[in-house]
Structures are given as structure tokens and as C-alpha cells.
């Protein structure tokens, strides 16, 4: 199957009609599409009883499904990066566009994806972010840049921050650490916007790009502080499961296999690198909560990675999970225009023109592997997606977009080149929850102290 997929991707499986007269008919089409058997590349019908046995409709599916099916021991992606600290994102490094269509609604990188995925709690903060996003988009125009419009976006944003300060603070608790952080962040945003005005007048592309990125980062941190919990209720049947009411940061220390290194950083040879992951419970609370609970219990410590053509897979140590933890989770995907996640039903991205709030078509996306049954996700095996627009479909979309439970992104390893160097045989030495444990609910008893993982004491970059 792998040979066939690399030389001639199978034809795209039938999809539901692209236009539907109503939301209910679109939902019905999705149910039909998810339960329908798919056609293999050689024309043999595959039963729809097992998601891992289905032949994917393209090169993306070849790697994801084939590796999950043939290599069950490590059928999950592995590492993660970061962006959030205890209360927000770190300044994102410049990143080149990852998608083939600049007009798509998909973000270009994990930091942008997380920024756009914060719940819309406060309209004033949303207006500031929208105007700065527009300025950042206009800056990428290769011809003569509309500096007047971009300068106006900055001025309008500054006016909102100054005139609607109290409204921007309304959703934040009236006292405590979050309030102090919000006040400091608002001051930071105002100062950045004040400095951006003259930079726009001088038409300094490099400084304007950096200033807009820093401003967007600060606005994102403010919006996270404005959303201290989930804005929706989860289905009652999942009441006892771990959930993440917000975001968390997990650091993965990854050691190259024997005899190999990640290269040199600052003149020092790097054998162990730290990749930071931001886990998003706003849009995938059950999947994110399960993952953070697994990480804090050492489920991924000492796990060997498996590299596929489009993903890096990591298994999990079942013995370190909760005693009552389920073997599978419901597939959890939140459409970008919906208020809450959808469970056990994939999105019909190609047919119904839906997009997930946390897209997989971003380099470094984290998702759980498929479960043994349709509409489920594995509770321990995860993967890091290696997005390549050359293997994507129209609009830069992965062929299986909307069919996996995406729950976060690696955010710090692209510029250093660590993410691209991950390979079969590399080992997760340690997964450490850096922040966000206070947002984990139903995590159960505290895990027992573990013996140090072999190699944990090595230097990390």
C-alpha cells in the first residue's frame, strides 16, 4: 500500500455535495460521508468499520493511515513546541507562508493558528486583532504596499486601546494575577502601537513587520486572559473525563538516536533539543485534557519516535495512565464558524466548505491518531504533522483536513530546524507540563513520583 501511495495517490473518495440548503442537511451529508466505505487505489472497496484500515484519499492519508495501521507501537506523532507562557504567547519568530493560497482562511503557522483560535469573548479586542491581522496581510503584498491603509489600521487599533480600556478589561477578573497581567499587557499594546505609527510613516518594512507581530502577540495574550474558562458546556456523557479549560504548555526534551545530533547552536553540538507545544483546550477540551494528563503522568517519557512521509508518530506508555482511563476518545473537531466542538463526526471540508478552528494543514500541528472505530481517536498515540503544500490539495488543504482531533501546535522548532530533523529512532526523554495544570479538570489523583528517565540529565538546547 505504501508503494502504491508514493507513486500514484488513490483517487479522492466521494464526498457530500458542496452546497447544501441547510445546516441540518449538511450534518446529514457528513454522517453519510463518515459512515460510507471508501474506495482503495486499486478499486477494491474497503469496509468502513475501522478508520485505520481505510485507504486515505491522498498522499497525506498514505502516511497517516498506513503508519498508524502498520506500526501500532508508535502510531502517534510526537513533539511539541510552545508559544504560551503561564498566561500567553512568546514573540513568534518570522515565518514564511506555508500555504499555497494566500487568501485561504487557514493560518500560515502554529502561532497564527493559536492566535486566531482564542474564543471571541471581547469584541473590542477582536477589532484590534482584526485590524492588525489586516495590516500584516497587506504587508505581504509584493507590489507597492498600501502604507496609508496599514497606518490607518494601526491608528484605529490605538484609538480602541485608549478609548475602550475599561471594556477591554471587563472580562478579566477584577483582582489577582490575571488582572495585573491584563493591565500590563494593555500598557504593552499601547506602547507598541504608539511606536508603530512613525514606523509606518517611514515605510520601514522590516521594523513594521516585527512591530505588528509583537503587537499581535500581546493582543493574543490579552484575549487569553479575557477567556478564563470554556464558553460552552461539554456533553454530559463526558463529565468524568479530563478536560482542559484553556491552554497549557508542554516541553518535550528529544534526544537524537545514537551517533546523531541536531547540529550546532552557538558553537555547541546539540544532541537533545527542547520542543515546546501549546495545547489548546478552548477548541479541543477533551483531547487536550487527556493529552496534558498523559504528559504529567510520564506517559510519553522514553517513547521512541517513528517518522513517516507526512508525520512524526509517538506511542504512549499505557501503564502510566489513569487506572480508569479509556482506550479511545471521541473524535473532537470544532468548525471555525461553530460555537462548540463536534463529536464523533469528521468535517466535510472538501464537500461542505467547512474549516476546523484548529487546522491540520499547518506545519507542526498535533493530533491524536485514529481510534479502532469510526468516530474515535486513540487516547495515547499522537502525531506531529509535517505539512508540505506540494502534497496538499486546492487552497493548501491537507486531503484529510477535518478528520483528526487536532489539539495544539509545535511553535518553537521551525527556525532552529529541530522539527524538520526529527527521525525514526529519536527518543522523547521527558515531557514536562510547563504551565496550564491549573486549567486541567478531572485529572484524578496525582501521579506517583517516577524514577528519572535514562538520559534525562543530558544537556538540552
- Shared domain check, 262 and 348: yes
The confidence score (pLDDT) of residue 327 equals 82
- Shared domain check, 292 and 410: yes
Give the CATH number, domain containing residue 295.
2.40.100.10
Pick from 140, 75, 70: which is nearest to 101 by CA? 140
The confidence score (pLDDT) of residue 451 equals 55
Evaluate if residue 15 carries a pLDDT over 60. Answer: no
pLDDT band at 268 (very low <50, low <70, confident <90, very high): confident
Please name the helix (run of DSSP H) or strand (run of DSSP E) that holds residue 329, with its range, or none: strand 328-330
Does residue 232 lie within any of the structural domains? no
Estimate to the nearest angstrom the gap between the alpha carbon of 75 and the chain centroid.
18
Does residue 234 lie within any of the structural domains? no
Name which residue leads in pLDDT, 264 or 127: 127
The confidence score (pLDDT) of residue 21 equals 40
The confidence score (pLDDT) of residue 129 equals 94
Evaluate if residue 14 carries a pLDDT over 50. Answer: no
Does residue 276 lie within any of the structural domains? yes
- Shared domain check, 249 and 214: no
Cell of 412: 518553537
DSSP, res 318? G
DSSP, res 182? H
Pick from 399, 351, 427, 419: which is nearest to 64 by CA? 399
- Shared domain check, 125 and 87: no
Mean pLDDT, the chain, whole residue set = 77
User: DSSP string covering 52-106, please?
Assistant: GGSPPSSHHHHHHHHHHHH-GGG-S-------B-SSSBPPPPP----SS-TTSSS
In the Cβ-directed half-sphere of 77, how many Cα atoms lie within 13 Å?
35
- Shared domain check, 256 and 398: yes
Please name the helix (run of DSSP H) or strand (run of DSSP E) that holds residue 210, with its range, or none: helix 205-226
Pairing of strands 328-330, 332-333: unpaired
- Shared domain check, 324 and 430: yes
Evaluate if residue 6 carries a pLDDT over 80. Answer: no
Domain boundary among 226, 256, 275: 226
- Shared domain check, 286 and 376: yes
- Shared domain check, 207 and 143: yes
The confidence score (pLDDT) of residue 98 equals 31
Distance separating alpha carbons of residues 242 and 169, to the nearest angstrom: 30
Distance separating alpha carbons of residues 129 and 386, to the nearest angstrom: 28
Contact 370, 52 (CB under 8 A): yes
Q: Structural domain tally of the chain?
A: 2
Q: In the predicted model, what is the mean pLDDT of residues 149-164? A: 96
Cell of 314: 509517538
- Shared domain check, 155 and 177: yes
Does residue 100 lie within any of the structural domains? no
Distance separating alpha carbons of residues 238 and 242, to the nearest angstrom: 9
Cell of 45: 472497496
**Alpha helical stretches, state H, 253-395:** 285-296, 349-352
Give the CATH number, domain containing residue 162.
1.20.120.290
Evaluate if residue 12 carries a pLDDT over 50. Answer: no
The confidence score (pLDDT) of residue 158 equals 97
Q: In the predicted model, what is the mean pLDDT of residues 327-331? A: 91
Q: In the predicted model, what is the mean pLDDT of residues 280-288? A: 96
Q: In the predicted model, what is the mean pLDDT of residues 155-179? A: 93
Domain boundary among 195, 226, 257: 226
Domain boundary among 226, 253, 274: 226
The confidence score (pLDDT) of residue 392 equals 67
Q: In the predicted model, what is the mean pLDDT of residues 342-353? A: 82
Q: Where do we find the cell 502561532?
A: 111
Does residue 237 lie within any of the structural domains? no
Contact 267, 454 (CB under 8 A): no
Cell of 48: 468502513
Quick: pLDDT tens for 234-256: 999 999 899 999 999 999 999 99
CA torsion 204→91→408→228, rounded to 10°?
Answer: -110
The confidence score (pLDDT) of residue 181 equals 94
Neighbours of 21 (CB within 10 A): 8
Does residue 235 lie within any of the structural domains? no
The confidence score (pLDDT) of residue 439 equals 92
Angle between helices 177-202 and 147-163 (to 10 degrees): 150
Contact 224, 172 (CB under 8 A): no
Evaluate if residue 257 carries a pLDDT over 70. Answer: yes
Q: 3-state DSSP call for residue 300?
A: coil
Pick from 368, 226, 224: which is nearest to 292 by CA? 368
In the Cβ-directed half-sphere of 396, how many Cα atoms lie within 13 Å?
21
The confidence score (pLDDT) of residue 406 equals 96
- Shared domain check, 318 and 267: yes
Quick: pLDDT tens for 385-413: 988 776 666 667 888 898 999 999 999 87
DSSP, res 377? E
pLDDT band at 450 (very low <50, low <70, confident <90, very high): low
The confidence score (pLDDT) of residue 54 equals 40
Cell of 86: 503561564
- Shared domain check, 192 and 86: no
Tell me how far CA of residue 113 lies from CA of 48, 110, 413, in angstroms.
Answer: 31, 5, 16
Pick from 436, 432, 425: which is nearest to 450 by CA? 432
Evaluate if residue 85 carries a pLDDT over 50. Answer: no
**Total-model pTM:** 0.72
Name which residue leads in pLDDT, 387 or 287: 287
Domain span at 397:
1-11+23-95+106-115+242-444+454-461
Amino acid at each position: 500500500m505504501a508503494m502504491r501511495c508514493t507513486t500514484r495517490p488513490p483517487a479522492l473518495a466521494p464526498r457530500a455535495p458542496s452546497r447544501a440548503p441547510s445546516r441540518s442537511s449538511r450534518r446529514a451529508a457528513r454522517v453519510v460521508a463518515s459512515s460510507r466505505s471508501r474506495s482503495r487505489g486499486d478499486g477494491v472497496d474497503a469496509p468502513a468499520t475501522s478508520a485505520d484500515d481505510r485507504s486515505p484519499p491522498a498522499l497525506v492519508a498514505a502516511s497517516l493511515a498506513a503508519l498508524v495501521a502498520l506500526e501500532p507501537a508508535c502510531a502517534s506523532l510526537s513533539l511539541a513546541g510552545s508559544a504560551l507562557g503561564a498566561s500567553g504567547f512568546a514573540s513568534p519568530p518570522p515565518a514564511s507562508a506555508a500555504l499555497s493560497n494566500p487568501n485561504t482562511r487557514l493560518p500560515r503557522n502554529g502561532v497564527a493558528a493559536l492566535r486566531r483560535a482564542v474564543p471571541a469573548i471581547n469584541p473590542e479586542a477582536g477589532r484590534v486583532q482584526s485590524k492588525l491581522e489586516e495590516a500584516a496581510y497587506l504587508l505581504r503584498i509584493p507590489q507597492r504596499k498600501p502604507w496609508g491603509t496599514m497606518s490607518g489600521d494601526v491608528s484605529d487599533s490605538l484609538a480602541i486601546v485608549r478609548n475602550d480600556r475599561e471594556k477591554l478589561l471587563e472580562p478579566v477578573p477584577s483582582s489577582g494575577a490575571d488582572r495585573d497581567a491584563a493591565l500590563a499587557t494593555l500598557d504593552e499594546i499601547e506602547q507598541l502601537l504608539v511606536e508603530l505609527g512613525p514606523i509606518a510613516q517611514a515605510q520601514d518594512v522590516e521594523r513594521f513587520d516585527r512591530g505588528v507581530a509583537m503587537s499581535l502577540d500581546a493582543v493574543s495574550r490579552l484575549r487569553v486572559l479575557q477567556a478564563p474558562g470554556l464558553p460552552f458546556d461539554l456533553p454530559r456523557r463526558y463529565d468524568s473525563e479530563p478536560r482542559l479549560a484553556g491552554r497549557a504548555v508542554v516541553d518535550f526534551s528529544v534526544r537524537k538516536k545514537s551517533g546523531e545530533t541536531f547540529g550546532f547552536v552557538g558553537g555547541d553540538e546539540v544532541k537533545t533539543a527542547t520542543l515546546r507545544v501549546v495545547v489548546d483546550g478552548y477548541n479541543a477540551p477533551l483531547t487536550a485534557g487527556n493529552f496534558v494528563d498523559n504528559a504529567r503522568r510520564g506517559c510519553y517519557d522514553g517513547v521512541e519516535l517513528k517518522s513517516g512521509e507526512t508525520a512524526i508518530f509517538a506511542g504512549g506508555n499505557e501503564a502510566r495512565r489513569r487506572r480508569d482511563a479509556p482506550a479511545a476518545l471521541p473524535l473532537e473537531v470544532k468548525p471555525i464558524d461553530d460555537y462548540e466542538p463536534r463529536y464523533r463526526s469528521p468535517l466535510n471540508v472538501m464537500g461542505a466548505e467547512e474549516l476546523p478552528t484548529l487546522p491540520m494543514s499547518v506545519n507542526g500541528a498535533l493530533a491524536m491518531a485514529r481510534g479502532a472505530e469510526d468516530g474515535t481517536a486513540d487516547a495515547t498515540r499522537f502525531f506531529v504533522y509535517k505539512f508540505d503544500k506540494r502534497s496538499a490539495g486546492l487552497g493548501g488543504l491537507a486531503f484529510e483536513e477535518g478528520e483528526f482531533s487536532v489539539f495544539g501546535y509545535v511553535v518553537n522548532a521551525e527556525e532552529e530546524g529541530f522539527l524538520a530533523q526529527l527521525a525514526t529512532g529519536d527518543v522523547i526523554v521527558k515531557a514536562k507540563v510547563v504551565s496550564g495544570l491549573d486549567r486541567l479538570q478531572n485529572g484524578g489523583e496525582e501521579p506517583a513520583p517516577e524514577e528519572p528517565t535514562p538520559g534525562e540529565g543530558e544537556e538540552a538546547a
